[in-house]
Amino acid sequence: MFPLLAACSFGPPSEEQAGSPPRFPTPSATSGGNNGNGSGSGNGSGQAVTVLTSGLDVPWGIAFLPDGGALVTERDTGLLLKVGPESDRTGMRVRTLADLSDAIEPGGEGGLLGIAVSPEFAQNRAVFVYYTTREDNRIGTFALAESAPPQSPAEPPVVSPQPIVTGIPRAGIHNGGRLAFGPDGFLYATTGDGATGDVAQDPKNLGGKILRMTADGTPAEGNPDPATLVWSLGHRNVQGLAWDPSKRMYATEFGQDTFDEINVIEPGKNYGWPAAEGLPATPDPKYKDPLVTWPTAESSCSGLAVSGRTLVAACLRGQRLWLVETTDQGTVFGRPSESLKSDFGRLRTVVAAPDGSLWVSTSNTDGRGKPGPDDDRILRLVLSGGGAGKS
């Protein structure tokens, strides 16, 4: 294992970002993560890992609320959970807030996927979800009901999101699914090619794209083509989005058999799929090359987070976090390093929490992993160090 990046900085956010501080369980003395998939020895210097909760069913999306708790989607059950901010000796308290199972058609990689909380949540309680139906993948919204008390035995309300975008290709694989509000206040969504590579190059098809929209699903001001949602094209299957302090946008992308990627996303750019995968032997000016590539066995990264100038990618097949330090110009500084390698199995999502830590979800119950008795889990990871990138 490579040493952890000395330049990672995971300090507390500003007061206006932090909200009410959650009460976390005591961090594990070791990573404690051996679930039969690895050695469980990856708790490197300067790293603290806490298992926040366990026993989840394919947790896919994580989005934070103003009180410091997080909304978590379960892909196959269609349930929307709230994790924290309360905790007890066994971990963060978990409540089921809504049942979206009537609206989704899970199967393969599809189901209840990404989630985003409105920037105006305090006023409108709006939540956005990316989900699979019998016909397509779509993006919908609903107003989240007030939380029931933790001890309440009441059944969660059944929710049918109001669709704002429909017609995204669906298949057993390559459904994309990540949602996030960008620093510009607009909603971004990642889509897959639905296992039909040519759609990624079709500007009229929503598959194999990154989309940018208003909260009602219309094209956002400043899109490359003002008549469409398309922000970038030529993607195979993007499942991670994040922005650095300079508002530069990054995305993780699954390759086919050779390379998985992190890309710097620029409006209107073409990322080459299906003609290109990874770094080409001969650059093609029509396509934008990736920032970083790895062999698929070491990566297959889904979620992506940014802390300072460090990109953190959560990898499924690679069963690790990749940490990539970047410069102020968005290029790679030094050599990427690894964290949690084989300690917790498949890692699906990584998000930056309001307190500056990282929350990471495992994905061992998704049909491709080897689940242990506590899977799936959400972890809290703190990496120490100073500085954030080089100029």
Per-domain boundaries in the chain: 15-383
Report the C-alpha gap between 31 and 42 in whole angstroms.
7
What distances in angstroms separate CA 103 from CA 60, 159, 250, one per listed residue? Answer: 17, 8, 30
pLDDT of 47 > 90? The answer is no
Percent of the chain's residues with pLDDT above 90: 78
283's tokens: 């650059």
Answer for the pair 71, 65: CB distance below 8 angstroms, yes or no.
Answer: yes
Considering the four listed CATH numbers 2.120.10.30, 3.40.1190.20, 3.20.20.80, 3.40.50.300, the one that applies to the domain covering 15-383 is: 2.120.10.30
- Mapped onto helix, strand or coil, the DSSP state of residue 5 is coil
**Mean pLDDT taken over the chain:** 87
pLDDT of 137 > 90? The answer is yes
The predicted-structure confidence for 320-337, as pLDDT tens digits, reads as follows 999 999 999 999 999 999
pLDDT of 243 > 70? The answer is yes
The predicted pLDDT at position 40 comes to 36
The predicted-structure confidence for 21-35, as pLDDT tens digits, reads as follows 344 454 443 344 444
Q: Residue 46: which pLDDT band, with cuts at 50, 70 and 90?
A: low
Report the C-alpha gap between 86 and 22 in whole angstroms.
6
The predicted pLDDT at position 88 comes to 79
The predicted-structure confidence for 364-373, as pLDDT tens digits, reads as follows 999 999 999 9
Work out whether strand 79-88 and strand 70-74 pair parallel, antiparallel, or are unpaired: antiparallel
Work out whether strand 179-181 and strand 162-168 pair parallel, antiparallel, or are unpaired: unpaired
pLDDT of 44 > 60? The answer is no
CA atoms within 13 A on the CB side of 148: 14
184's tokens: 């510009």
The predicted pLDDT at position 7 comes to 32
pLDDT of 268 > 70? The answer is yes
Q: Edge-to-edge, what's the strand order for the sheet holding 187-190? A: 179-181, 187-190, 209-213, 230-233
The predicted pLDDT at position 45 comes to 40
Of 273, 304, 67, the closest CA to residue 174 belongs to: 273
% helix, strand, coil for the chain, step of 5: 5, 40, 55
The predicted pLDDT at position 221 comes to 98
Range in 29-38, 181-190, 195-204, 349-358 with the lowest mean pLDDT: 29-38
- Mapped onto helix, strand or coil, the DSSP state of residue 16 is helix
